[in-house]
Amino acid sequence: MADYVRNLWYMAAWEEELDGQPWLARTLLDEPRLLYRAEDGDYVMMADRCPHRFVPLSRGKREGDTIACGYHGLTFGRDGRCVRNPFSDLIPPNARVPIWPVVARHGALWFWPGDAERADPALIPDFGFLDAGAPMVRGRTWMAANYEFITDNLMDLSHAEFLHVETFGTNGALFGGEHGVRQDDSGAIWSNWWMPDSAPPVWATMVPEGGTIDQWLEMRWHAPASMALFIGLALSGTDRRELIVPAMANPHIITPETATSSHYFFTREPGEASEAMAKRVFNEEDQPMIEAVQRAMRDRDFWREEPVILHVDAAAIRARRRLMKLRAEERPAGG
Amino acid sequence: MADYVRNLWYMAAWEEELDGQPWLARTLLDEPRLLYRAEDGDYVMMADRCPHRFVPLSRGKREGDTIACGYHGLTFGRDGRCVRNPFSDLIPPNARVPIWPVVARHGALWFWPGDAERADPALIPDFGFLDAGAPMVRGRTWMAANYEFITDNLMDLSHAEFLHVETFGTNGALFGGEHGVRQDDSGAIWSNWWMPDSAPPVWATMVPEGGTIDQWLEMRWHAPASMALFIGLALSGTDRRELIVPAMANPHIITPETATSSHYFFTREPGEASEAMAKRVFNEEDQPMIEAVQRAMRDRDFWREEPVILHVDAAAIRARRRLMKLRAEERPAGG
Amino acid sequence: MADYVRNLWYMAAWEEELDGQPWLARTLLDEPRLLYRAEDGDYVMMADRCPHRFVPLSRGKREGDTIACGYHGLTFGRDGRCVRNPFSDLIPPNARVPIWPVVARHGALWFWPGDAERADPALIPDFGFLDAGAPMVRGRTWMAANYEFITDNLMDLSHAEFLHVETFGTNGALFGGEHGVRQDDSGAIWSNWWMPDSAPPVWATMVPEGGTIDQWLEMRWHAPASMALFIGLALSGTDRRELIVPAMANPHIITPETATSSHYFFTREPGEASEAMAKRVFNEEDQPMIEAVQRAMRDRDFWREEPVILHVDAAAIRARRRLMKLRAEERPAGG
């Protein structure tokens, strides 16, 4: 089992994934989990595993806010305690299912796999931009790769000049850009590209003849792998104020399914063209390469393989180091 | 390799599975084995593995009571000894294939994987009911689960109220029933349900208006996992004498293929409806749930997972304890 | 990872497999490798793995004699050194890809996975017969088996009387033949069958009525598994001089892909009938049996399984012992 940091908020699902469903069953951090919306509107996450014979509770039935196992009928309440044994009035005291704190925030559901007493909702990264602007489609994809390899991909956008050169039409602006890394007060690590005075895209008819634009790509990372990408294009020399298109903000939130597979939450514009574009970028361009990293690594340790470190890796490496520190802090003393 | 009890009779096949076949090749207790009927009518079981280059002998040819390997022609007799080396008159003394005792009894073939000298046919559990009554179809299915999880399922029939509620139309009789566990002189462990004064099934027109019936379900277990289910329905208060349908008896005999897969031998009534019913009960209702137990357990130890133990588990737990005792007895001292 | 002998020439590919291709990507001895023909005609083999994020370089682009990684653009020259980092003028000194010596000889490409200083082309086994005679089709197949099991198969041709009895129509000549093993000055081990005074094949109309022929099958082995088969048929008593068909020579060169899978290089006559024959012999007759050996062995050690050793195994066993000796020599002292 992977060495996950436990005392963090992880995104489990989009809130709307539960619409009209008795529950959502999903493996997160190696464990099958069941997520449902209680009748009072709160969300509940419990282990998707009956403590009697260990079958998934998602093979059972929802009855109000309880779940009855489909095998022998043990029924569990939202606090995880067994409330009914259909063959006896005696309920063994160890008949309980683990539960975890869940919080809905900006349309996403966040859970805390560690010590519930430390689960402070104020620690959920700010994805307030999800509520603003034109409505976006909330999507999820899946990759057969450890979440840190997906983080590496996102925190080093230089790969766009190779993997996405046709889809994004970046025209080499990243090659001439400046890359910087910074940390903010929320603890986020930023991987920022600044590309001043670059040629405008062909569709940018609002740019005066012969004029240039300033572009930026800013990827913000919160542990474990909750990222947000901010993109801007402005007329050159306007100090980012005269935007030629509305600023864009997109979540790239990665949650481990297992040590070698991940859920990937994103948003995209509505419409078929945007759907096709997302599929191309995520599943035809990024996914095969990221999964190739996973296959090449097999189960070997990243650092023991002595990877070449480039300047453009600075932000990804800083995120990796942050996770190493968090893991070390959670390790029992002497462990 | 799993820690099987060796000094026990295991069912290998139905006798009729060999009809018209030179042999039957089947993996049992992790080892590929070859079963054939010799010309004198006796049955032979040998390892399906040539001791020269280890290929299955079932890739070879049967010649009378001998089997010639299909790779280089080493030929073995029913005692497992090599009787011919086509390239030399010299036969290496270690050119032998392991053989095991096999006994045909009531249409089933039983083999003894342990010490052949202890293989007393009197120890084969009594399935004499297989020879009585109307002829039944002898079936075999397969489940991707350890045989003890299938035993758990059969020794606790309370699951019928959840998994088979529509197919069996049990109408909740098990909820009000009494469950008891007993041991008999043959060493069998019985898991018995007694459901007196219950409402008759709709088809039971022989029950007087307003009358009730006594029902029983009795599952008998012999190690390792050879079970028989006895079912009865009688007019209430007749001390089980006035049956409303003929008493039923069915084998449920499980033999490990590997530590995580099992052969399941059963009988059913002839006809398409009964075939469809067996498929539904075994393969659509029981199998997915039992295989879910196996997947949930991965390769973890049952007891270390600290399962909740219910009263209805009493018989299954007693069977598990019996196997633990038998395994401990076979373990070498100091092992 | 398997315990391969490193300081040996292994066949990587037929030279013509690279015709018209920027490169050939192939896993050899557990490692993905990239093979290409440089502009000056020399061949280059490098690890198919970028040292930055470990993706296959074969997902990138060839530019002259360099390979640019398809992920972030690091570009490597034929000596394995990084020659370009598109995002910086700084190239980390550890940005190098391992390379191995490659030599083209008689249409085959040989590489040396061990210490490059010891890679003396004079050590490549002589397959000069590949350049002589009528042109042959150069083929490659693949088997899910360790290369030593394929060697066992080839060094003991007695299996032809069982596996290939219909395709070769050997008519039992091997049963009466003499089998001998010898070593030559090149270090090769020979497994020779000599079948004097045998009945001629039906197509051999040049043999006088009632006449017989002398036949021989001679398999030459060089470590690790580079074999050549020499076949002859001559009028009896002519001291192998009056051949009834031209002498035949065929390569059977096996290179491990992994510990449990192998590349198998061979030649065959042109034409559909010969193609079908090769497919039948290699893939329908030999392959299933050899793969059955692999499955039967799982990951167990050959010698610990105490295989029966026959006289006809003498050459195969001698080849196995040679490899054991070579492995022992390469093992670090005290290891």
- 335 residues of chain B, pLDDT tens digit each: 479 999 999 999 999 999 999 999 999 999 999 999 999 999 999 999 999 999 999 999 999 999 999 999 999 999 999 999 999 999 999 999 999 999 999 999 999 999 999 999 999 999 999 998 889 999 999 999 999 999 999 999 999 999 998 887 666 888 888 999 999 999 999 999 999 998 887 778 888 888 899 999 999 999 999 999 999 999 999 999 999 989 999 999 999 999 999 999 999 999 999 999 999 999 999 999 999 999 999 888 999 999 999 999 999 999 999 999 999 999 987 64
**What is the pairing mode between strands A108-111 and A10-14?**
antiparallel
Look up tokens 């096949």; give the residue: B13
Q: How many CB pairs under 8 A join B and C?
A: 67
Query: How confident is the model over A17-39, as a mean pLDDT?
Result: 97
* CA Rg value for chain C: 22
Is residue C184 domain-shared with residue C322, that is, in the same domain? yes
Of the pLDDT bands very low, low, confident and very high (cuts 50, 70, 90), residue A210 is confident
Considering CB atoms only, which of C59, C74, C94 is closest to A292?
A: C59
Write out pLDDT tens, residues A89-133: 999 999 999 999 999 999 999 999 999 999 999 999 999 999 988
Is the same domain home to B69 and B51?
yes
Q: In whole angstroms, what is the distance from residue B100 CA to residue C100 CA?
A: 53
Are A87 and B305 within 8 A, CB to CB?
no
**In the A/B pair of chains, how many CB contacts fall below 8 A?**
67
Give the C-alpha separation, C66 to B328, whole Å.
Answer: 65
Given a cut of 50, the residues of chain C with pLDDT beneath it are 1, 335
pLDDT of residue A1: 46
**Chain A window 249-308: which residues touch C at a Cβ cutoff of 8 Å?**
288-289, 292-293, 296-297, 305-308
Q: Between these two residues, C133 and A148, which has the higher pLDDT value?
A: A148
Q: Please answer yes or no on whether C310 and B52 come within 8 Å at the CB atom.
A: yes
Among candidate residues B220, B2, B13, the one with its CA nearest the CA of residue B111: B13
Any chain A CB within 8 A of the CB of B156?
yes
User: Same domain, yes or no, for B154 and B246?
Assistant: yes
- Summarize the confidence of residues A40-65 as an average pLDDT: 97
Task: Say if the Cβ atoms of C311 and B87 lie within 8 Å.
Answer: yes
Average pLDDT over residues A217-241: 96
Boundary-marking domain end, from C97, C123, C149: C123
Residues B69, B171 within the same domain: no
ipTM over 0.90: yes
**Do A38 and A79 share a domain, yes or no?**
yes
User: What are the residues whose beta carbons fall under 8 Å from the beta carbon of B252, sequence distance 6 or more?
Assistant: B154, B219, B227, B228, B229, B264, B265, B266
The span from the CA of C263 to the CA of C143, in Å, is 7
C53, C83, C91, C96: which to substitute to probe chain A, counting the most A Cβ within 10 Å? Answer: C53
Average pLDDT (A274-298) is 96
Q: Which chain A positions have a beta carbon within 8 Å of B163's beta carbon?
A: 70-71
Q: Compare all CA atoms of chain A with the CA of B292 and give the residue at the minimum distance.
A: A55
Rounded-to-integer distance, Cα B200 and Cα B213, Å: 6
- With CB atoms and an 8 Å threshold, state whether C296 touches B56: yes
Query: For chain B, how many helices (H) and strands (E)?
Result: 7, 18
Q: Residue C135 burial (CB < 10 Å; 0-12/13-18/19+)?
A: exposed
Please report whether residue C49 resides in a domain: yes
Return the residue of C nearest to A306 by Cα: C51
Within a domain: C222: yes
Closest in B53, B87, B92 to C152, CB measured:
B53
Strand locations in C172-275 (E): 178-183, 189-198, 213-222, 226-235, 248-258, 261-268
Q: Min CA distance, A179 vs chain C (Å)?
A: 10
In this prediction, residue A170 carries a pLDDT of 64
Signed CA dihedral, B235, B241, B246, B250: sign only: positive
Distance from CA of A70 to the nearest CA of B (A): 6
C206 touches chain B (CB under 8 A): no
Contact criterion met (CB < 8 Å) for B54 and C310: no
Q: What is the CATH number of the domain that holds A169?
A: 3.90.380.10
One domain, residues C87 and C184 = no
- Asked if residue B3 belongs to a domain, the reply is no
Placement of tokens 């436990």 in the chain: A6
In this structure, what CATH number is given to the domain that contains residue C91? 2.102.10.10
Interchain proximity C90–A175, CB inside 8 Å: no
Contacts of C293 in chain B (CB under 8 A): 53-55
In whole angstroms, give the CA distance from residue C295 to residue B119: 31
- Do C85 and C192 have their domain in common? no
Q: Is residue B4 part of a domain?
A: no
Same domain, B45 and B176: no
**Structural domain count, chain A:** 2
C-beta neighbour count of B135 within 10 angstroms:
9
C74: helix, strand or coil: coil
Pick from B175, B179, B306: CB nearest A86: B175
Which residues 93-112 of B are in CB contact (within 8 Å) with C?
A: 94-95
Does A179 sit within 8 Å of C53, measured CB to CB? no
**CA C325 to chain CA centroid, nearest Å:** 20
Question: Shortest Cα distance from A156 to chain C (angstroms)?
Answer: 9
Which B residues, 20 through 79, put their C-beta within 8 Å of a C-beta on chain A? none
Based on the fold, state whether residues C87 and C189 are members of the same structural domain.
no
Residue C90 sits at the chain A interface (C-beta within 8 Å): yes
**Residue B194: its H or E element:** strand B189-198
- Helix or strand or coil: residue C287? helix
Whether A87 and chain B come into contact, CB under 8 Å, resolves to: yes
Q: Quick check: is C8 in a domain?
A: no
Which chains reach chain A with 3 or more Cβ–Cβ distances below 8 angstroms?
A: B, C
Above 60 in pLDDT, residue A188? yes
**Quick check: A87 and B297 CB within 8 A?**
no
| Gap between the Cα atoms of C96 and C140, Å rounded | 31
Q: Which domain holds residue A215?
A: 128-330
How far apart CA C93 and CA C72 sit, in angstroms, is: 17
- For testing the chain A interface, which of B150, B162, B191, B300 should be mutated: the one with the most A CBs within 10 Å? B162
Position A4 in a domain: no
Q: Are residues B59 and B117 in the same domain?
A: yes
Answer yes or no: is C5 within a domain. no
Domain-embedded: residue A3:
no
Contact check, Cβ <8 Å, A296/C52: no
Distances (CA, A) of C84 to C68, C77, C295: 8, 9, 46
Which strands form C178-183's sheet, in the order they lie side by side?
A: C137-143, C261-268, C248-258, C226-235, C213-222, C189-198, C178-183
Boundary residue ending a domain (A91, A123, A155): A123
Q: Is B205 on the interface with C (CB under 8 A)?
A: no
Co-location of A104 and A160 in the same domain: no
State whether A232 and A195 are in the same domain: yes
Boundary residue ending a domain (B123, B152, B167): B123
